[in-house]
Amino acid sequence: MQVALYNQSGQQIGTTELRDEIFAVELNNALMHQAMVRQLANARQGTSSTKTRGEVAGGGTKPWKQKGTGRARQGSTRSPQWRHGGIVFGPTPRSYEQKMPRQMRRGALRSALSAKAAENQIRIVDDLKMSAPKTRDMEDILIGLAIDSSALIVLSETNVSVQKSADNLPDVKTLRATYLNVRDLLNYNYLVMPLSAVKAIEGYLGK
């Protein structure tokens, strides 16, 4: 598929070809949803922990005798109904990790990229370079590309000046092409990529 090619000033300087097997596939919403749920689950730490009545310190002595007090019989002050007692069925450290085959993960990325392309939310620039970090210059670049909401800038390699220039913009994020993921693609409205990043993505998502 043919898309417009821009320079950093936002001027269209021609067109470029995006591979149909990556940017024009049939959308698979179920696959994107599964990939999104997996990514969110894998981000969970799973460190929540509570103690049962057997793990709470103290409570080894019977608080009062079994009979004759008029109160309910109790065997320990660490029973769940007591203050400072144990917790019943509370959370314990666990792993929330979900696995997903590589081809399914890449298929989800192709669907997300195709959704962006279908909505005309991809901006391809010939190159993206900055001599020094400057937030105002990055803001001007995005305005020139007619981006009026959140944007994900994908780079082929680390570019400190570009990354630092985007850090102070609340709705802009930079990401290496090799770290492209469904969560960021769905969370940001526009996708900005230099040609080098497109080549990097096509290098590992192409069939």
Quote the CATH superfamily of domain 2-44+99-205: Ribosomal protein L4/L1 (3.40.1370.10)
- Euclidean distance between CA atoms 182 and 111, whole angstroms: 9
Residues 6+ away with beta carbon under 8 Å from 109:
35, 180, 181, 182, 185, 205
Residue 20 confidence (pLDDT) = 92
Q: How far, CA to CA in Å, does 58 sit from each of 74, 77, 83, 84, 89?
A: 14, 8, 12, 10, 20
At residue 1, the pLDDT reads 86
For the stretch 60-96, pLDDT in tens is: 999 999 999 999 999 999 999 999 999 999 999 999 9
Tell me the percentage of the chain whose pLDDT exceeds 70: 100
Give the model's confidence band at 201: pLDDT under 50 very low, under 70 low, under 90 confident, else very high: very high
Does the pLDDT at position 154 exceed 90? yes
- Residue 120 to residues 53, 180, 189, 204: CA-CA distances in angstroms? 59, 19, 10, 23
Per-domain boundaries in the chain: 2-44+99-205, 45-95
Residue found under tokens 């090619």:
5
